[in-house]
Amino acid sequence: MNWDVESSTRRRTCMLMVTHACNLNCIYCYETHKKNAYMDTNLAKEIILREAQFVSESDTFDEMEIDFMGGEPLMNFPLIKNVVEWLETGVIDVPWICFATTNGTLLTDKIKAWLRKHKNTINLGASYDGNSKMQSTNRGTDKYNLDLTFFRELWPHQALHMTISKETLPTLAEGVLDMQAHGYNVEAALAEGIDWTIEDAVVYREQLSILKDAYLKNPALTPVDRLTRYVSITDAPATEKLQGKWCGTGKYMVTYDIDGKKYGCHMFSPIVCGDKALLADAIEWDSPESVADGYCKSCVLRRFCPTCAGFNYKYRGSLANRDKRWCPMILAEAITACEFQIELLAAMDKLNEQDAQHGQTALQAYQVLRHLDITKSHNPYTI
């Protein structure tokens, strides 16, 4: 039994690390402990049955998502095929859907035919980093014939996921607009663990401004998510508004490695952290203090600035310790997002109450942020 693919706060996400292997070597990859290792199909089924029972007995969850992860998950396609077909026989009694993110290079005609047949029970998302030059720079996929139209045909709601590297940042707008010109929605994110500089922040601001102007000129385009995020500043004491987690790590999601060991999410698993991997029961996931960086407690953007406890742990040894090299990048993003949202709403003939409130919040944030100079070091950003 499956259900609508839209996300739900009542959903438990069960991530299965079906392989530690990958056929690419992306320049920004944080999975630094890849190896030729695979999960056994019977183990995957045992985990799913256990998780399904947990969901059925839970007061918190009533549906389940099974994510096949790697490495490159299609390197263990036999497991994916077997598990999906097994689930379709009705072996679990909670609503479910399967999902995998792939680099798309291993999609043979045979695999495509199977996915077409099972498109309502498994969704695939594609990782693609812009135009062919950007893709080659980040991923080295020149020898592959990537069929992006296949993803749009089967799962039109699914956006392409772009990772912004230091090398492709100067052509960010070009890459996004090129993908959108071919009919794809795009989600973009800055690469983690990168030595982002103030100079990069200036370029980021320029590239986002190009996108802003393009979307205002052509409303038919769907704005990239970097410009549509809700921007709200806060001058409340840190004790009133702790930074908090940005995801359901350890509670709404859980990861099982190839050997069946359980982690809060894949970021704490051996493929990412090696021998420093942290098992799920080693962390108090519900403690907001555990991810609150004291350095950021007076920053007006502390609730807007994304933080990943897994990346913090991998690169800095602490769930809370954010990458301060992101500060000017996030300021550039927040300022441009405010400008876009204000200009977009100002161009509307009539605003409903929600839009008016949104515009007021964006304007209040912009009035503070526009006085901050991304070329100067004044972090954390305070009023």
d(CA 141, CA 103) in angstroms, rounded, equals: 9
User: Mean pLDDT, to the nearest integer, of 69-80?
Assistant: 98
Residue 99 lies in a domain: yes
Structure confidence at residue 376 (pLDDT)? 75
Residue 298 lies in a domain: yes
Paired tokens of 162: 């772009």
Paired tokens of 13: 């996400």
Residue 97 lies in a domain: yes
Residue 191 has pLDDT above 70, yes or no: yes
Task: Give yes or no: residues 236 and 158 share one domain.
Answer: no
Query: Phi/psi of residue 244, each to 5°?
Result: 75, 170
Task: Give yes or no: residues 306 and 171 share one domain.
Answer: no
Note the pLDDT tens digit of each residue in 302-351.
888 888 999 999 999 999 999 999 999 999 999 999 999 999 999 998 99
Residue 90 has pLDDT above 80, yes or no: yes
User: Mean pLDDT, to the nearest integer, of 232-252?
Assistant: 68
Residue 150 has pLDDT above 90, yes or no: yes
Query: Phi/psi of residue 100, each to 5°?
Result: -150, 140
Residue 267 lies in a domain: no
Least confident among 28-37, 171-180, 217-226, 303-312: 303-312
Structure confidence at residue 383 (pLDDT)? 57
Paired tokens of 152: 């749009």
d(CA 88, CA 81) in angstroms, rounded, equals: 11
Task: Give yes or no: residues 176 and 233 share one domain.
Answer: no
- Farthest CA pair distance, the chain: 60
Residue 289 has pLDDT above 50, yes or no: yes
CA trace torsion 154, 156, 160, 161 (10° rounding) = -90
Residue 2 has pLDDT above 80, yes or no: no
Residue 4 has pLDDT above 50, yes or no: no
Q: Using a CB cutoff of 8 Å and minimum separation of 24, what contacts does 31-36 make? A: 31/71, 31/271, 31/272, 32/272, 32/274, 33/270, 33/271, 33/272, 33/273, 33/274, 34/71, 34/271
Task: Give yes or no: residues 136 and 52 share one domain.
Answer: yes
Residue 269 lies in a domain: no
Range of the domain at 197: 11-227
User: Mean pLDDT, to the nearest integer, of 109-130?
Assistant: 97
Task: Give yes or no: residues 233 and 168 share one domain.
Answer: no
Task: Give yes or no: residues 153 and 236 share one domain.
Answer: no
Task: Give yes or no: residues 67 and 126 share one domain.
Answer: yes
The Cβ of residue 233 has, within 10 Å, a number of other Cβ atoms equal to 22
* Cβ proximity of 301 and 337 under 8 Å: no
Residue 39 lies in a domain: yes
Q: What is the mean pLDDT of the chain?
A: 92
* Cβ proximity of 106 and 100 under 8 Å: no
User: Mean pLDDT, to the nearest integer, of 183-188?
Assistant: 94
C-alpha count within 13 angstroms, C-beta hemisphere, residue 20 = 19
| Burial of 137 per CB tally in 10 Å (0-12, 13-18, 19+) | middle
Q: Domain count for the chain, please give it.
A: 2
Task: Give yes or no: residues 44 and 60 share one domain.
Answer: yes
More confident residue, 376 or 67: 67
Residue 264 lies in a domain: no
Residue 216 lies in a domain: yes
Residue 245 has pLDDT above 90, yes or no: no
Pairing status of strand 262-263 against strand 253-256:
antiparallel
Residue 229 has pLDDT above 60, yes or no: yes
Structure confidence at residue 208 (pLDDT)? 98
Structure confidence at residue 379 (pLDDT)? 62
More confident residue, 284 or 185: 185
Paired tokens of 55: 């969901």
Q: In what order do the strands lie in the sheet with 122-126?
A: 122-126, 96-102, 63-69, 11-17, 253-256, 262-263
Task: Give yes or no: residues 17 and 151 share one domain.
Answer: yes
Task: Give yes or no: residues 186 and 172 share one domain.
Answer: yes
More confident residue, 118 or 241: 118
Cis peptide before 380 (omega within 30 of 0): yes
- The CATH number given to whatever domain includes residue 80 is 3.20.20.70
Paired tokens of 212: 């802003």
Residue 238 has pLDDT above 70, yes or no: no
Task: Give yes or no: residues 89 and 117 share one domain.
Answer: yes
Note the pLDDT tens digit of each residue in 35-49.
999 999 999 999 999
| Burial of 82 per CB tally in 10 Å (0-12, 13-18, 19+) | middle
Select from 215, 167, 158, 212 the least CA-distant residue to 186: 158
Structure confidence at residue 375 (pLDDT)? 85
Q: Of 196, 227, 258, which closes a domain?
A: 227
User: Mean pLDDT, to the nearest integer, of 169-193?
Assistant: 96
Task: Give yes or no: residues 185 and 154 share one domain.
Answer: yes
Residue 131 has pLDDT above 80, yes or no: yes
